[in-house]
Amino acid sequence: MRILITGISGMLGVDLYQILRDSYEIVGLDIKGFPSTPFSSPPLHKGDITDLPELKAVFLKLNPDFVIHTAAYTDVDGCEKSPDRAHRVNALGTRNIALICQEKNIPLVYVSTDFVFDGKKNYPYAELDEPHPLNVYGRSKLAGENYIRSLLEGYFIVRTSWLYGQYGKNFVETILKLAEEKEVLTVVGDQVGSPTYAKDLAQEMKKLVSGGSYGIYHITNSGSCNWYDFAEEILKLAGIRGIKVKPITSKELNRPARRPQFSVLKSSSSGRGLEDTMRPWKEALKEYLEERKDL
């Protein structure tokens, strides 16, 4: 089976490639080139998902049997400042992919986000809870979900949260870098979610590819924390001492995009071939920190 991964040069895309490449033929599509990794680059078409004619030509050339769509404009504050770009890439780009999958009858996995929820609930969100995004990014990703749901029958929508991985900018790397530069770090303490290792997510997604039932899935590492707790755990597990972490509020940080205060996702995957509970986020973080040292 030949799988096309859109956004293959991004953080999750690289991990998906790494995990799927031994079992499947992988081809990639991304607006940028593949990053430098210890393994060889996949056949990659450099292209833009917002260009439907180009996309049709890419599908004709690559002829995939299955599509995993991770390409997105993922800068949450950037989306707030450039809502047209957010809509073009995350909503209309996804519509383009869905239209081609519909025409060619290709199953599609779409990666979506906890930011489709507003965080007003104070217990975990289930797959069928009503989304209500607070920011432009969340609205554009939800619009992508809605296009998929209205155009396709053979789809998987995978919502995940607070991703970090070896091949992309992420919170863990930001904290480690800041710890080299500063003695006091200020980190938001009033947003709760579930940090998720992109490699763990990719491993779960592999099960969907190999025969999951269509529908919506919530896939995150288990447990939850706020960003302040997450930063403390990163420093502790990395063995970095002497750095003070100060919690601040979202209001004090004053970022352009509002974020949900609580976006923990609950999985109802039992009986659908996935783990109901993935390993705890602290365990996954420990492994990430060990693995990054070897790179």
Ligand X SMILES: NC(=O)c1ccc[n+]([C@@H]2O[C@H](COP(=O)([O-])OP(=O)(O)OC[C@H]3O[C@@H](n4cnc5c(N)ncnc54)[C@H](OP(=O)(O)O)[C@@H]3O)[C@@H](O)[C@H]2O)c1
Catalytic (active-site) positions? 137
- Under the binding rule (CB under 6 A), the answer on residue 12 touching ligand X is yes
Q: Compare residues 24 and 162 and give the one whose CB is closer to ligand X.
A: 162
Shortest Cβ 281–ligand X spacing (Å): 13
Single residue of 21, 25, 41, 48 touching ligand X by CB under 6 A = 48
Return the residue matching tokens 């809605």.
146
Task: Supply the minimum distance, in Å, between the C-beta of residue 271 and ligand X.
Answer: 24
From 156-164, 234-242, 249-257, 273-281, span contacting ligand X (CB under 6 A)? 156-164
Integer CA distances (angstroms), 274 to 131, 154, 211, 291, in order? 22, 18, 11, 25
Radius of gyration of the chain (CA): 19
* CA neighbours closer than 13 Å in the CB half-sphere of residue 291: 15
DSSP three-state, residue 176: helix
- Give the CA dihedral 221, 226, 230, 231, nearest 10 degrees: 160
85-120: buried (b, 16+ CB within 10 Å) or exposed (e) per residue? bbbbbbbbbbbbbbbbbbeeebbbbbbbbbbbbbbe
Please identify, using beta-carbon distances, which residue of 46 and 177 lies nearer to ligand X: 46
User: Can you tell me which of 45, 95, 139, 141 binds ligand X, judged by CB under 6 A?
Assistant: 141
Between 47 and 247, CB nearer to ligand X: 47
Choices 158-166, 185-193, 227-235, 266-274; region in contact with ligand X by CB under 6 A:
158-166
From 43-51, 230-238, 240-248, 282-290, span contacting ligand X (CB under 6 A): 43-51
Q: Which of residues 50-109 bind ligand X (CB under 6 A)?
A: 50, 70-74, 89, 93
Among 5, 67, 101, 113, indicate the residue that binds ligand X (CB under 6 A): 113
Shorter beta-carbon distance to ligand X: residue 70 or 224: 70
d(CA 138, CA 73): 11
Give the list of residues 6+ apart from residue 148 with CB closer than 8 angstroms, or none: 94, 98, 108, 110, 155, 157
Nearer to ligand X, 160 or 226 (CB): 160
Provide the binding-site residues for ligand X, judged by CB under 6 A: 7, 9-13, 30-32, 48-50, 70-74, 89, 93, 111, 113, 141, 160-163, 168
